[in-house]
Amino acid sequence: MTVPGDGRGAAVADRPAPARPVPFSEFILKVHSRCNLACDYCYMYELADRSARTDPPRMSPEVFARTCWRIGEHVRTHGLDAARVVLHGGEPLLVGAPALARMADRLRAAVRPATARITVQTNGTRLDEPALSALVGAGVRIGVSLDGDRTANDRHRRYASGRGSFDQVDAALRRLADRPEAYAGILCVVDLAADPLDTYAALLAYRPPVVDFLLPHANWESPPARPDGDDTGYGRWLARVFDAWYDAPVRRTRVRLFEELINLLLGGASRTESLGLSPVAAVVVNTDGGYEQVDTLRSSYPGAVDTDLTVFAHSFDEVLRHPAVAARQAGVSALAAGCRACPVHRVCGGGNYPHRYRAGSFTNPSVYCHDLRLLIDHVAGRLRADLVGLRGRDG
Amino acid sequence: MDSTEDGSQGVLVDLSDVSLADLPELDQSAFAWSLRRILEEVDRPRDAVAGWNSAM
């Protein structure tokens, strides 16, 4: 087994910890660290931290067994009713769907009498009919990554040969659309080169129960592409999709980003780390058994995800006490002073954590700050206008 | 309403003088779904935690 981490998670170690840690309820297992695609924006292989290239390709039976035991331990220690487990990669289907189905069975057994809601997040290229049947049979739900129509998707989501992945993913999503009990939804990375409405329409064609739009991982050291120099370009792109979604007389799909944003604006809480100040309750177990912070931090600097803790020697409770993990549960006190003074800080929550990185610190606004502000103001305006109508109806 | 450290008003949308009773029962718009969600959370609060962004 390799030794996970090298102590370079120090950039976040000076952050305040919450009074009482919130237990983990979402466990992300890196069951296979390699991928059969070579997407140009991949945070595992193409951005700041490329250590995944030397991780064990596959989670060993010993690591998996110990991880199951640790999850069960954590669930029982905190009296949790349920755990969410994401089988992730790289590309998780590289271990084979029958193996994933067996993993699901063992995870459920490990947390009983609690329940385990198990999801695979896949690039879709290996989701053929036998694989789909195996996962459906094991009660595993499936999320697929797709960036829109063929042109938009194949601009970034390509094989190492340069060939696009659209044909395989299109076929997989057509199959999955006929198995709604197993269909978790579609993840789409925003690309300013793609038309927002065409992108949304392309996703809707697969009848997803949920869609989420992700901002490409970027930070102040490595800013996002802005071809026209507009520092609200991503916000405008998302606002156009918001209007298309919001104006439909019947909601055709859920859009996680928009629903969480609305809930925050109405005074509720967010359930996604990309917005709001809810404590992050997700943790990653790498193929080598090392605990990691949410692995999108790999986009910021080498070693950003490391905790130096492992399933063989440490419990999840010990991970909760790690300063860098505790910082993700610290709420408003973890924000930059400038963010705390901003009128939208409880809605944006400072933005997705990896997007705040600059020169060794995450105590900064998001590199998407202006985009988020535009989107938040846009959505708030739409809500207020509709509430005027509701008040009028009441009066 | 939300406020910043210096007490200025935030962007939260005020629902305090809105009656939701007239929201049509069968309204399936995103707006209606959103109002029902926040009402349900008021009626049945639960701990809010943030899930991972890179999976559905």
Q: Are A245 and A201 within 8 A, CB to CB?
A: no
Q: State the distance between the two ends of chain B, measured CA to CA, in whole angstroms.
A: 31
Amino acid at A313: A
User: Residue A384: its pLDDT value, please?
Assistant: 92
Closest CA to A123 of A77, A164, A76, A82: A164
Of A394 and A256, the one with more pLDDT: A256
Average pLDDT over residues A311-327: 94
Residue pLDDT, tens place only, B4-54: 554 444 688 887 777 667 676 668 899 999 988 988 887 777 778 998 888
**Which residues, listed in sequence order, are joined to residue A30 by a DSSP beta bridge?**
A88
**Could you count the other beta carbons within 10 Å of the beta carbon of residue A247?**
11
Three-state DSSP state, A49 = coil
**Element at A307 (helix H, strand E):** strand A306-310
Interface test with B, best of A387, A388, A391 (most B CBs within 10 A): A387
Q: Summarize the confidence of residues A357-362 as an average pLDDT.
A: 91
Q: What is the mean pLDDT of residues A266-278?
A: 93
Q: A168-221: per-residue pLDDT in tens?
A: 999 999 999 999 999 999 999 999 999 999 999 999 999 999 999 999 999 999
Q: What is the pLDDT of residue B2?
A: 42
Asked if B49 lies within 8 A of A271 by C-beta distance, the reply is yes
Q: Which domains does chain A have, with CATH numbers?
A: 9-13+21-342+349-356 (3.20.20.70)
Report ipTM (2 d.p.): 0.85
Instruction: Look at B51 and A271 and tell me if their CB atoms are within 8 Å.
Output: yes
Binding-face residues of B in 1-56 toward A, CB within 8 A: 2, 4-6, 8-13, 15, 17-23, 28-31, 33-35, 37-38, 41, 47-56
pLDDT at A395: 42
| Three-state SS at A40 | coil
Say which amino acid occupies A319. V
pLDDT at A134 over 80: yes
User: How confident is the model over A16-32, as a mean pLDDT?
Assistant: 84
Distance in angstroms between the alpha carbons of the first and the last residue of chain A = 68
Token pair in block for residue A301: 């600097």
User: Tell me: the pLDDT tens digits for A70-88?
Assistant: 999 999 999 999 999 999 9
Q: What is the mean pLDDT of residues A295-315?
A: 85
Task: Tell me the residue type at A195.
Answer: D
Q: How far apart are CA A389 and CA A118, in angstroms?
A: 41
And the tokens for A225? 């592409």
Q: Is A106 helix (H, G, I), strand (E, B) or coil?
A: helix
Mean pLDDT of A30-50: 85
Per-residue pLDDT band for A10 (boundaries 50, 70, 90) equals: very low
Q: Copy the structure tokens of residue A177.
A: 């659309």
Question: A18, A330 in Cβ contact below 8 A?
Answer: yes
A 36-75 residues with CB < 8 A to B: none
Separation of alpha carbons B43 and A250, rounded Å: 25
CB A55 within 8 A of CB A2: yes
Tell me the pLDDT band of A293, cut-offs 50, 70 and 90.
confident
User: Number of CB pairs < 8 Å for A and B?
Assistant: 162
CB atoms within 10 A of CB A220: 16
**Would you say residue A364 has pLDDT above 60?**
yes
Query: Across the strands, what pairs with A284?
Result: A28, A292
Query: Considering Cα of A255, then A124, then A190, then A220, what sign does the dihedral take?
Result: positive
Helix, strand or coil for residue B3? strand
Task: Indicate if the pLDDT at residue A3 is higher than 80.
Answer: no
Host H or E run for residue A246: helix A233-247
Cβ–Cβ under 8 Å, residues A368 and A217: no
Amino acid A357: pLDDT: 93
A-interface mutation test, from B11, B36, B39, most A Cβ less than 10 A away = B11
Residue B8 CB neighbour total at 10 angstroms: 11
Decide which of A150 and B18 is more confident. A150
pLDDT digits (tens, 9 = 90+) for A114-132: 999 999 999 999 999 999 9
Closest CA to A153 of A189, A115, A100, A127: A189
- Output the pLDDT for position A5: 34
Chain A CB contacts of B50 below 8 Å: 270-273, 276, 278-282
Q: Which residues contact B53 (CB under 8 A, 6 or more apart)?
A: A212, A214, A272, A273, A274, A294, A296, A352
Average confidence score pLDDT of chain A: 91
Judging by DSSP bridges, how do beta strands A82-89 and A115-122 pair with one another? Answer: parallel
Which residues fall within 8 angstroms of residue A313, CB to CB, at 6 or more apart?
A: none
